[in-house]
Amino acid sequence: MMKKLAWKMWAQSPDWIKIILRPPLRLVRWLKFYLEFGFPPPPSGTDLVGYETLLIFIERHNLLKVKGDIVEIGAFLGGGTYKISEYLERKGSSKKVYAIDIFDVRADQTMCTRGARMSDIYADILCRVGKGCDQFEIFQRVTRDCRNIVTIQGDSKRVEIPARRICFAFVDGNHDSSYIKNDFCLVWPKMSPGAVVAFHDYGYDLPEVTETIDYLLSTHSEEIGKRWLDREKHIIYIQKSQVSR
């Protein structure tokens, strides 16, 4: 409630106040992130989800103790990929981050309930953040110092994941139903018992995503342990059962 009120007040503030307050607010956010996670945040605008919530979930549920690496389907500009990579480094983990993306903002033609195509939304963000660079250039720049990232450039329907096992996967790629099913089937067989796959945009403005995930939950119910829903971030976490049923 307080966060919504703060955003409303900010939106109603005169432009001259916003111009004055932006630099100190940016510095406060930078320091807050650094103090909490122990490494600098990525460039502004390169993480649309807010991967901090994933890091907190991984930490809370001790997922680094589960066998396997981390897979990300849908890296976009690399800010989130960078956060996972740096988090693993700070934890002294030898796990790798397999980042899968086609790196073409035109690829996702799914339309949200607001009447906008995802491709148009991504193109607009790229235009504002990229300053003339293409998506892959920005990703490479953001993650250039990360030594534990394996970048897989390609359509997720046509790639293979080199990892033998997976401890955590985050899916935020193409939002078409066929891709949701494909991406689930791409990671699920390699997930260790107790591992978790998380999907973004569940219960939000892409109904097809929610319907498809509900279908997958139903058809794989006997293989699923726990599930968690982050309503604020529109993320559903699905744990692979730790015991055979």
pLDDT of residue 84: 98
Query: Residues 18, 124: one domain?
Result: no
Query: Residues 19, 119: one domain?
Result: no
Residue 167 lies in a domain: yes
pLDDT of residue 21: 56
Residue 245 lies in a domain: no
Calculate what percentage of the chain has a pLDDT beyond 90: 83
Residue 186 lies in a domain: yes
Q: At what angle do helices 79-90 and 135-143 cross, to 10 degrees?
A: 20
Q: Give the pLDDT band (50/70/90) at residue 130.
A: confident
The H-assigned helical ranges of the chain are 2-12, 15-37, 52-60, 79-90, 118-130, 135-143, 177-187, 207-219
Choose among 175, 170, 53: nearest CA to 113: 175
Query: Residues 69, 28: one domain?
Result: no
Half-sphere exposure of 215 toward its Cβ, with a 13 Å CA cutoff? 13
Query: Residues 201, 213: one domain?
Result: yes
Query: Residues 95, 193: one domain?
Result: yes
Query: Residues 25, 107: one domain?
Result: no
Mean pLDDT on 181-191: 98
Query: Residues 98, 128: one domain?
Result: yes
Query: Residues 196, 156: one domain?
Result: yes
Query: Residues 28, 86: one domain?
Result: no
pLDDT of residue 33: 87
Query: Residues 95, 108: one domain?
Result: yes
Range of the domain at 16: 1-37
Choose among 241, 233, 178, 237: nearest CA to 211: 178
Query: Residues 33, 50: one domain?
Result: no
Residue 171 lies in a domain: yes
**CATH code where residue 211 lies:** 3.40.50.150
Residue 227 lies in a domain: yes
User: How far is it, in rounded angstroms, from Cα 139 to Cα 131?
Assistant: 13
Instruction: Specify the number of domains making up the chain.
Output: 2
Query: Residues 52, 84: one domain?
Result: yes
Residue 21 lies in a domain: yes
pLDDT of residue 245: 46
Residue 27 lies in a domain: yes
Residue 24 lies in a domain: yes
In angstroms, the Cα distances linking 195 to 36, 77, 105 are 25, 26, 30
pLDDT in tens, 136-155: 999 999 999 999 999 999 99
